[in-house]
Structure 1
Amino acid sequence: MLGDSITAAYGLSREQGLPARLEEALRAGGRAVTVIDAGVSGDTTAGGRARLEWSLAERPDAVIVALGGNDGLRGVEPRNSEANLRAILAALKARGIPTLLAGMLAPPNLGADYGREFAKVFGDIARDNPEVVFYPFLLEGVAGEAALNQPDRIHPNPQGVDEMVRRMMPAVETLLSKVRPA
């Protein structure tokens, strides 16, 4: 999972974080997988792009790209986020690595126009890369739900992580169906 604080288990133990809980759920379903946590708190799409090669050192069979939240929080130009995400996906495609792109929404305080433009980035990328599994919003069902978030109202608590895993499991299963046997 190439991501930011959401994948890096910000405010949680590693065992409570998204990669560990996703791995646990997949294993419970009979999948012999290891989910590698390549999350860096505070990372942007530019940071993820810059560290992609390093993140691929463990030779993953598939990648979940979960970046963009910090771009939205910082008001990064959506076209810059888009260029970074497209470069990440192109590099993964060139290596034949199946990919899931988890979308993100911008916080409402940046205005409706920015929010629409930011959300459009992920939909446009998904449309242009039909081989990529698209999960439209990483925090679906968790964002804005006080009971599922830490006091900062940005990062999921353990129950929020479990809800994220439950909701994204079908997309992750689709991703894993694209992995070629070794």
Structure 2
Amino acid sequence: MRHSIVRKGPSPYGTAPSAFNRRALFAAALAAMAALMTPFPPAMAAPPIKLLALGDSLTAGYGLPEPQGFTAQLQRALVAKGYAVTVINAGVSGDTTAGGLARLDWALADRPDAAIVELGANDMLRGLDPAAAKANLDAILTRLKDQKIPTLLAGMLATPSLGPTYTQPFNALYPDLAARHGVPLYPFFLDGVATDRALIQNDGLHPTANGVAVIVERILPAVTRLLDSLPKSGS
């Protein structure tokens, strides 16, 4: 029986891959496909805006549980409107404009992006010189401007019982300062609350939780305009 002779030599198509190499190539192809199909990681969310509320007992939430105070209610209202924001409670009960100025550097250590200044009620209740209150607020607004922190100035009105020689210069200092520094003014922090006994605590001075809700509702448009004026992330 004649045997055929098989000549051994290199294939014109190269050496055929072994089973091991075929598996390795297949695994590499799958990995490449998976890499192409893997979505890019989502962009990092921008950190929340830090809104400093520098004030007295009206900001601090005197006589109220923390969740019912001004800063907590304001933050919830802003979040409900879609703002990523942390409202920093820098309110100190009994503080005057001088006290607010004295602790301003401490408050700025939180590196806020914007600020609300609510001071002056205790100056008025103690009958302190409106000119001194104006000078203190002027220094606060100047410092915030130097730090490039957009600010909303919340005004206060003097009780009429103090007489026109006091009420006129006191009431005028807030619009004067707002115009001088080019900052927005919310004319009266207690608007809608001050003359409604149902919204005032038994001390006759501080708002109830419902009173704070009215304050927040009324000041909210001014606060959202302030936040909308901030530079957008990446701009």
TM-score, normalised to structure 2, is: 0.75
Asked if 1:112 corresponds to 2:140, the answer is: no
Q: Give the drift of 1:113.
A: 2.2
Gaps of 5+ in 2: 1-52
The structural deviation recorded for 1:133 is 1.5
Is 1:142 matched with 2:174?
no
Shift in Å, 1:109: 2.4
- TM-score if structure 1 supplies the norm length? 0.97
What residue identity is the alignment partner of 1:14? E
2:72 maps to which of 10, 13, 20: 20
- The code of the aligned residue for 1:181 comes to K
- What is the CA distance between 1:129 and its match in structure 2? 1.8
Alignment RMSD, CA only? 0.9
Give the residue type in structure 1 aligned to 2:187.
P
Q: What amino acid sits opposite 1:74 in the alignment?
A: R
2:226 to 161, 166, 175: 175
After superposition, give the CA deviation of every residue in 1:4-24 in whole Å (9 maximum; x if it has no partner). Answer: 000111000111000000000
SS state of the match for residue 7, structure 1? helix
Alignment coverage as a number of residue pairs: 181
Code of the aligned partner of 2:93: S
- Give 1 or 2 for the bigger CA radius of gyration: 2
Deviations 1:85-113, CA, capped at 9 Å, x for gaps: 00000000001000000000112221122
Q: Which runs of 4+ in 1 moved over 4 A?
A: none
Q: Which residue of 2 aligns with 1:79?
A: 131
**Aligned AA (1:27):** V
Structure-2 separation of matches of 1:128 and 1:177: 22
- Say whether the 8 Å CA contact 1:133–1:174 is kept in structure 2: no
Q: Give % identity.
A: 56
For 1:172, give the aligned amino acid: V
Q: Match for residue 6 of structure 2?
A: none
Paired residues of 1:7 and 1:19 also in contact (CA < 8 A): yes
Q: 2:82: which partner in 1? A: 30
1:98 to 150, 155, 162: 150
- Please, which runs of 5 or more residues in structure 1 have no aligned partner? none
Amino acid at match of 2:224: E
CA deviations 1:55-75 (Å, max 9, x no partner) are 111111100000000010011
